[in-house]
C-alpha cells in the first residue's frame, strides 16, 4: 500500500513511535493481536506487523503498510497466521527512514538462533544505536532494515547464553535509551521494560491465556483483565508450563516514566500508574484554569486531544464548555492524494468551526501542545473568520522546548516554536489575545504529585519541557545534532 502525503494537521503534532501487543494461550492468536493493534492504532498509523507460531508449520508473519482495519481484517491475510501465540506492532517511524519506509523496516523482527527462532517488537528509541550498529557491522553482522530495533536481534545472536530470554538480557544490557519490548519464542511470550520505565507496558489475563500490551485500552477490546504494569527494569517470561516468571536483569534505577503519555500519547480510556488518563487530563485543565484564568464566554477544545483538559478548564473557571470546533472523523491519514489547492486548505480538511456558536463570543481554546505553531495559526484564523470577538489559547502542557530521543517523533530543536520564542513572542506570532501554558509544577500536580516537581530528583521524564535527559542521547551528541543545556558552550560561540 503506497503511503500518501501526511496532512499538515498531523505534521504539527508530536507522534508516538509505536505500540506493541502480544498474546499466548488462546485459539487464533493473530485475531486477538489484530484487535489489540487496532486499539493501539493511535500510537502508530504508518504500518503494522504480526508474527505467530504454529507447532506443525513454525513461524508465520505478515507485514503491511496502512491501518490495521485495512490490512489485518482480511481473511486472506489472517488465515496465513495460525497459532496460539503471537505478537504485533504498529509504527510511526522515528529512527528508520521517515516518509519512505521500506517493508523491511516494519516490525516485529525475526531471528533464527541455534535454540530456535524468536521475534521482537520494540516501542521506544535506542540512543546508542548508531554506535552499536557500527560495531556490529564491523564484526560481520548484516542488517536488513534501517530500524534501531534490529540491533537487539544482532546482539542476541552474538550472546553465548543458552536460551532466548538470557540472550535478550545480554543484548538489552548493551542498549541505552528507552524500550518496552514484547517478544516471543515457539513457546514463550516475553515482556521487558528498560530500567527507567520510560515507555508503558502492561500485563493482562484472558481466560487461561496471557496478554502484553502498550496500554490497557487494548486489553479492554479483547475482554482481557488488567493484572498489573510490567515494572521498570522487569522482564516477564510467560509459558503454558510455568505461567508468569519475573526477573530483574538491569541495575535498579529511579523510574522516569514519560509524562507526555499522560498529556497526549495514551488513549483517554487507558489507565497509567493506577490513574485514569481521562481524569488526569481533566485535572490538567483544572490546574490550567487556576494558573491562567481568562475572561471569556465559552471554552472550546481543539479536538480530540484537548477535550478532557477543556472540560476541566470549564469546570474550574465556570465558563461554559462548548464544541466550537468539529472534527471530521472520516478524514484519515490515507485520504485522497491532495492537490495543491486542497493542501492549502490546511486543517479545514479535518476541523470545522461551529460558526453559529462562535460568532461574537470571547473564546478560550484549549489544546494539548504547541510544536511548530502552524496548526495554532490555522485554528486561530478559522475562529476569527467565524466571527469570534477574542481568542485566548490555553495549552495543557508546558512549552515544548527540547526534542525527545526516547521514541517520540519530534522536530529538531530550532523548529520548536517555544525553543526560539518567549510566550509573549509566540502570542504575537500566533496572533491571539492571550496565550498561556500550564507550568511544569502544575502538570506534576495534575498527575498526582501534590508538591509539584522535585527538581532535585524529577519523578518523570520531562526532557521535552525541561531539557533534562535521564539518558544522554549519545548518537545525537556524537553527530553534533544536539547540545544539551548542561554542556559547555564551545569557545567562539
Q: What pLDDT is stored for residue 2 in this prediction? A: 25
Q: Is 18 a catalytic residue?
A: yes
Sorted by sequence, the CB contacts under 8 Å of residue 30 that are 6+ apart come out as 50, 52, 72, 78, 81, 82, 83, 86
- Measured between alpha carbons, how far apart are the two ends of the chain, in Å? 48
Q: Is 330 exposed, middle or buried (0-12, 13-18, 19+ CB in 10 A)?
A: exposed
B/e letters for 299-325, b = 16+ CB within 10 Å, e = fewer, are: bbbbbebbbbbbbbbbebbebebbebb
Q: Which residue has the cell 502544575?
A: 442
What is the pLDDT at residue 482? 81
Contacts of 249 (CB under 8 A, 6+ apart): 169, 172, 173, 192, 233, 235
CATH number of 282-449: 3.40.1080.10, 3.40.120.10, 3.40.50.2020, 2.40.10.340? Answer: 3.40.50.2020
Are the beta carbons of 250 and 61 closer than 8 angstroms? no
Q: Which of 18, 217, 404, 461 is catalytic?
A: 18
- pLDDT tens, N- to C-terminus, the chain (493 residues): 223 233 333 445 555 569 999 999 999 999 999 999 999 999 999 999 999 999 999 999 999 999 999 999 999 999 999 999 999 999 985 444 444 468 999 999 999 998 999 999 999 999 999 999 999 999 999 999 999 999 999 999 999 999 999 999 999 999 999 999 999 999 999 999 999 999 999 999 999 999 999 999 999 999 999 999 999 999 999 999 999 999 999 999 999 999 999 999 999 999 999 999 999 999 999 999 999 999 999 999 998 889 999 999 999 999 999 999 988 776 554 334 445 455 445 566 778 899 999 999 999 999 999 998 988 999 999 999 999 999 999 999 999 999 999 988 777 899 999 999 999 999 999 999 999 999 999 999 999 999 999 999 999 999 999 999 999 999 888 888 787 876 654 455 4
Residues 6 or more apart in contact with residue 235 via CB below 8 angstroms: 165, 168, 169, 190, 191, 192, 246, 247, 248, 249
Q: C-alpha grid cell for residue 85?
A: 501465540
pLDDT at 328: 77
438 vs 305: CA distance, rounded Å = 15
Domain ranges of the chain: 8-255, 282-449
* CA-derived radius of gyration, the chain: 23
Question: What integer pLDDT is reported at residue 93 of this predicted model?
Answer: 59
Q: Which residues of 149-164 are buried (b: 16+ CB within 10 A; e: fewer)?
A: bbbbbbbbbebeeeeb
Distance CA(438)–CA(317), nearest Å, equals 15
Residue whose cell numbers read 470577538: 389
Q: What kind of architecture, by CATH, is found in domain 8-255?
A: 4-Layer Sandwich (3.60)
Say if residues 357 and 322 touch (Cβ distance below 8 Å).
yes
Are domains 8-255 and 282-449 of this chain identical in fold?
Answer: no
Amino acid at each position: 500500500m503506497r503511503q500518501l502525503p501526511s496532512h499538515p494537521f498531523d505534521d504539527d503534532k508530536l507522534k508516538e513511535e509505536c505500540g506493541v501487543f502480544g498474546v499466548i494461550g488462546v485459539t487464533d492468536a493473530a485475531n486477538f493481536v489484530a484487535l489489540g493493534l487496532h486499539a493501539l492504532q493511535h500510537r502508530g498509523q504508518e504500518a503494522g506487523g504480526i508474527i505467530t507460531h504454529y507447532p506443525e508449520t513454525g513461524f508465520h508473519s505478515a507485514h503491511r503498510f496502512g491501518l490495521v482495519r485495512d490490512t489485518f481484517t482480511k481473511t486472506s491475510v489472517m488465515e496465513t497466521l495460525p497459532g496460539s501465540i503471537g505478537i504485533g506492532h504498529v509504527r510511526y517511524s522515528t529512527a528508520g527512514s521517515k516518509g519512505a519506509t521500506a517493508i523491511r523496516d516494519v516490525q516485529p523482527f525475526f531471528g533464527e538462533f541455534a535454540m530456535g527462532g524468536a521475534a521482537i517488537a520494540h516501542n521506544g528509541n535506542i540512543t546508542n544505536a548508531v554506535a552499536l550498529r557500527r560495531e556490529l557491522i564491523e564484526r560481520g553482522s548484516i542488517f536488513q532494515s534501517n530500524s534501531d530495533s534490529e540491533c537487539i536481534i544482532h546482539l542476541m545472536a552474538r550472546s553465548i547464553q543458552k536460551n532466548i530470554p538470557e540472550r535478550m538480557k545480554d543484548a538489552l544490557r548493551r542498549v541505552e535509551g528507552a524500550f518496552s519490548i514484547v517478544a516471543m519464542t515457539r513457546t514463550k511470550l516475553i515482556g521487558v521494560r528498560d530500567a527507567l520505565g520510560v515507555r508503558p507496558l502492561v500485563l493482562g489475563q484472558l481466560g487461561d491465556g496471557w496478554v502484553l500490551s502498550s496500554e490497557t485500552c487494548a486489553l479492554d477490546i479483547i475482554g482481557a483483565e488488567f493484572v498489573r504494569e510490567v515494572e521498570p527494569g522487569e522482564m516477564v517470561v510467560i509459558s503454558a508450563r510455568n505461567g508468569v516468571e519475573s526477573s530483574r536483569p538491569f541495575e535498579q534505577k529511579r523510574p522516569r516514566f514519560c509524562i507526555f503519555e499522560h498529556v497526549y500519547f495514551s488513549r483517554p480510556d487507558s489507565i497509567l500508574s493506577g490513574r485514569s488518563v481521562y481524569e488526569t487530563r481533566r485535572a490538567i485543565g483544572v490546574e490550567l484554569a487556576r494558573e491562567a484564568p481568562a475572561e471569556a464566554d465559552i471554552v472550546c477544545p481543539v479536538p480530540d486531544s484537548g477535550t478532557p483538559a477543556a472540560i476541566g478548564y470549564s469546570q474550574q473557571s465556570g465558563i461554559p464548555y462548548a464544541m466550537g470546533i468539529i472534527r471530521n472523523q472520516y478524514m484519515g491519514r490515507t485520504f485522497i492524494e491532495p492537490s495543491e489547492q486542497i493542501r492549502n486548505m490546511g486543517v479545514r480538511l479535518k476541523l470545522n468551526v461551529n460558526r453559529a456558536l462562535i460568532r461574537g463570543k470571547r473564546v478560550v481554546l484549549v489544546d494539548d501542545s504547541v510544536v511548530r505553531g502552524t496548526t495554532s495559526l490555522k485554528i486561530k484564523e478559522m475562529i476569527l473568520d467565524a466571527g469570534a470577538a477574542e481568542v485566548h489559547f490555553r495549552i495543557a502542557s508546558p512549552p515544548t522546548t527540547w526534542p525527545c530521543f526516547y521514541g517520540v517523533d519530534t522536530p529538531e530543536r530550532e523548529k520548536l516554536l517555544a525553543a526560539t520564542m518567549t510566550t509573549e513572542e509566540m502570542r504575537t506570532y500566533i496572533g491571539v489575545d492571550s496565550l498561556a501554558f500550564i507550568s511544569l509544577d502544575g502538570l506534576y500536580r495534575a498527575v498526582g504529585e501534590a508538591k509539584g516537581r522535585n527538581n532535585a530528583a524529577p519523578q518523570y521524564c520531562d526532557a521535552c519541557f525541561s531539557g533534562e535527559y535521564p539518558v544522554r542521547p549519545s548518537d545525537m551528541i556524537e553527530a553534533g545534532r544536539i547540545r544539551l543545556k548542561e554542556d559547555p558552550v564551545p569557545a567562539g560561540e
